[in-house]
Amino acid sequence: MLLLACAEAGSNETRAGIIAEDMVKEDVISGDDLEFNLVGVDKVGLDEYHVVADIKTTNGLGLKVPRKVSVRLKYIGGDWSDINSWSKISISYLDESTGRTQTSTPQAEPAKAEYEHTMKNPYSDKKDGDTITVAGIVFTIKVSSEDDLLICSDYKLTPDKIKEVCEELDIKYIAFYYKGQTIGKDDPYSMKMEKIIFYGEDVI
């Protein structure tokens, strides 16, 4: 039994590749049907690895989207097959068709004051139907609570403009749609970037 336990400890490139796949499955929304094809694993330090793979995940329209993923992870001790025996340093995704990258990194728990600041909706006292202007865009409030905000514009915004609005508001969840478009319709007005959620159908 002792020899078996010893055999299950320690790290190598093969084990890092297996755990990297598990980490990506946990990180993406459509992890259950993730296609993961390992490209290569490099040992970059003591028990620290860089894993590169080609993946396919399902987007909000039910289509398989190919991306390249880069996982940096470190073995911290224990049963190598337990994902908790590894520390995720970062996961980066590259959409080769657009050149857009997205990185997921673990974050420490924020202090209570910082957490409350992040969550607070500055328009929580507004009523449904009120208008606000953010980043030069006039929005009609549809739902406004302390934590969440659903706003409607006269026209569809670009992802860059939506990101600008989110950064100016500095709250965690904002749902966007435009007149003539309701949440749940078939429209790819939906993507997730860090804490920002763009609604249209489902979050990618």
Query: What one-character-per-residue DSSP string does 2-41 give?
Result: HHHHHHTB---HHHHHHHHHHHHHHHSTTGGG-EEEEEEE
| 91 and 20 within one domain | yes
Question: Do residues 70 and 81 touch, judged by C-beta distance below 8 A?
Answer: no
Q: Is residue 142 part of a domain?
A: yes
Per-residue confidence in pLDDT tens, the chain, 204 aa:
333 333 467 899 999 999 999 999 988 876 778 899 999 999 999 999 999 999 988 766 677 778 899 999 999 988 999 999 999 999 988 876 666 777 776 654 444 444 344 446 777 788 888 888 888 888 888 777 766 677 888 877 777 787 788 777 776 567 777 776 655 544 545 444 444 455 443 332
Alpha-carbon torsion angle 79, 83, 89, 94, nearest 10: 140
Q: Is the pTM of this model over 0.85?
A: no
Last residue of a domain, one of 104, 130, 158: 104
Q: Is residue 156 part of a domain?
A: yes
Q: Residue 119: phi, psi to the nearest 5?
A: -80, -25
pLDDT at 147: 62
pLDDT at 80: 94
Q: Is residue 204 part of a domain?
A: no
Question: Cα 114 to the chain's mean position, in Å?
Answer: 20
Q: How many residues comprise the chain? A: 204
Question: Cα 153 to the chain's mean position, in Å?
Answer: 25
Question: Which structural domain, as residue segments, surrounds residue 64?
Answer: 2-104
| 100 and 116 within one domain | no
Place of tokens 């320690």: 10
Question: Do residues 119 and 172 touch, judged by C-beta distance below 8 A?
Answer: yes
Bridge-based pairing state of the strands 196-198 and 137-144: unpaired
Q: Is residue 150 part of a domain?
A: yes
Distance separating alpha carbons of residues 184 and 171, to the nearest angstrom: 23
Helix %, strand %, coil % of the chain (to 5): 25, 40, 40
Return all residues near 1 (Cβ < 8 A) that are at least 6 apart: none
pLDDT at 1: 32
| 125 and 92 within one domain | no
Q: How many domains does the chain have?
A: 2
Last residue of a domain, one of 104, 139, 158: 104
| 44 and 22 within one domain | yes
pLDDT at 121: 73
CA dihedral sign of residues 7, 10, 12, 14 = positive
| 189 and 133 within one domain | yes
Last residue of a domain, one of 45, 73, 104: 104
pLDDT at 43: 94
| 163 and 88 within one domain | no
Q: Is residue 157 part of a domain?
A: yes
